[in-house]
Amino acid sequence: MPFVRIQLKEGRTAEQKQELAQAIVEAMEQQNFAPAENVRVIYEEMAPENFYPGDLFKKEN
């Protein structure tokens, strides 16, 4: 049973996440990776204050 874990910042709608999950499940099934009923898509959402991109700390010359 494959688990697809997606980590992202908060802010997507439930509809956006559902559409992406459906596309992932369909792609895995089309590639004969796993039947749709065995695929699990898991979203892990981070609050913006818990996400720091590396370029935030880049010093300019």
Domain boundaries, the chain: 3-48
Of 3, 5, 1, the residue nearest 44 (C-alpha): 5
pLDDT at 60: 77
Q: Write down the pTM of the prediction.
A: 0.81
3 neighbors 40 (Cβ within 8 angstroms): yes
pLDDT digits (tens, 9 = 90+) for 23-39: 999 999 999 999 999 99
pLDDT at 61: 65
Is the pLDDT assigned to residue 14 strictly greater than 70? Answer: yes
Mean pLDDT taken over the chain: 94
Where does the pLDDT of residue 59 fall: very low under 50, low under 70, confident under 90, or very high at 90 and above? confident
Alpha helices in the chain (DSSP H): 14-30
Which of 2, 35, 48, 53 is labelled catalytic? 2
**Which class is 3-48 in CATH?**
alpha beta
Based on the residue annotation, tell me whether 35 is a catalytic residue of this protein: no
